[in-house]
Amino acid sequence: MAGAPTLTDALRARAIAAGSGAVHDTAVLAERSDGTVVRGGGVVLKAHAADSDREALAQRVAVAAHSSLAGVLLPPLPYVSVLHGRPVTAWPYGEPVRRNTEPEAAPWEEAAVLLARLHSTPPPHALPPMRGPAKAARAVARMRAARPDAAVLDAWAGLPAWARDEAPSPSHRQALCHGDLHLGQLVRHPPPDGPWRLIDVDDLGMGNPAWDLARPAMWFAAGVLAPGVWCRFLGAYRAAGGPAVPGQGDPWPYLDVPARALAVQTAATAVAKSVAEGRVLDEMEQAVHDACRRMAQVS
């Protein structure tokens, strides 16, 4: 289409220049208002959200560059720019988890060990809070505007203020957290078969490390993820000495609140998307919505 060059066009041009220089080697990996990602050969450029706190983003990127996180977080390339009013950072290309593999084949143990190491590393400098609760609150606000779903709102109302981003996270049990863990946040570097690393520091910061375990925990609790897969993930985290839950016994006293919040976030996002796309919830989304409904019955 003709017209003014878009942000994606501009990113692509820069990615070609920064990467291999070969046009055929570019790909748009994500195209959203809070993250547009373009690959050019061995270089990936990310345009962050226009309203991102620039100073906080710089602090987060600096953590990924710090030597104490080498082997845990993919380090950035030394490049910072602004395009179309959005801050842009550069990263080496890493091989992502293949989307068509069975959930059992994903690197759950590797993800758990990386999280345990992240949570055990003292922050190298002052950092803003982990943005997990803020993202949950944002998803609920989006759902309220699209279609206020009573079951999801009830589950949200049952959460403590800190999990709804209405109060600071309790000061005990603070650790360096990723803030938005899912299987899209893991890449192998160098590609295609180097060691696994965590990517995407946009939500990284200080907070309750149980938040990073809570999305797989919620998938398991909602019946979306097989118990054996959850067992592998939790077992690897514990074996690596991760501090979010005790090494033995029932982890749910520690996981319950963040897992509820992530169920609400997931269900709220699903409701908003289903309204926008004029469809009903799919089976997985319905399973998480059902979990939200059960929360009101037991609390």
Q: Does 51 bind other proteins (CB under 8 A)?
A: no
In the set 194, 223, 241, 246, which binds other proteins (CB under 8 A)? 223
Q: Does 99 bind other proteins (CB under 8 A)?
A: yes
Q: Does 237 bind other proteins (CB under 8 A)?
A: no
In the set 4, 85, 100, 125, which binds other proteins (CB under 8 A)? 100
Site for other proteins in 184-203 (CB under 8 A): 184
Residue 26 belongs to what H/E stretch? Answer: strand 26-32
Q: Does 93 bind other proteins (CB under 8 A)?
A: no
Long-range pairs for 162-166: beta carbons < 8 A, 24 or more residues apart: 162/133, 163/133, 163/136, 163/257, 163/258, 163/260, 163/261, 164/133, 164/136, 164/137, 164/140, 164/261, 165/133, 165/134, 165/136, 165/137, 166/137
Q: Does 115 bind other proteins (CB under 8 A)?
A: no
Closest CB to other proteins among residues 86, 203: 203
- Name the nearest CA neighbour of 59 among 157, 130, 117, 112: 130
Residues 6+ apart with CB under 8 A from 125: 59, 62, 63, 66
CA distance 57 to 45: 15
Q: Does 229 bind other proteins (CB under 8 A)?
A: yes
CA distance 137 to 185: 21
Q: Phi-psi category of 95—alpha, beta or left, where left has phi over 0 and alpha has psi -120 to 50? A: beta
Closest CB to other proteins among residues 144, 232: 232
Q: Does 275 bind other proteins (CB under 8 A)?
A: no
- Supply the minimum distance, in Å, between the C-beta of residue 287 and other proteins: 6
Binding segment toward other proteins, per CB under 8 A, in 7-15, 69-77, 80-88, 279-287 = 279-287
Q: Does 37 bind other proteins (CB under 8 A)?
A: no
Closest CB to other proteins among residues 65, 134: 134
Structure tokens at 186: 């893991």
Q: Does 248 bind other proteins (CB under 8 A)?
A: no
Closest CB to other proteins among residues 16, 264: 264
Q: Does 36 bind other proteins (CB under 8 A)?
A: no
Count CA atoms within 13 Å of residue 234 on its CB side. 25
Binding site for other proteins (CB under 8 A): 97, 99-100, 102-103, 106, 135, 180, 182-184, 219-231, 250-252, 255-256, 259-260, 263, 265-266, 269, 282-285, 287-288, 290-291, 294-295, 297-299
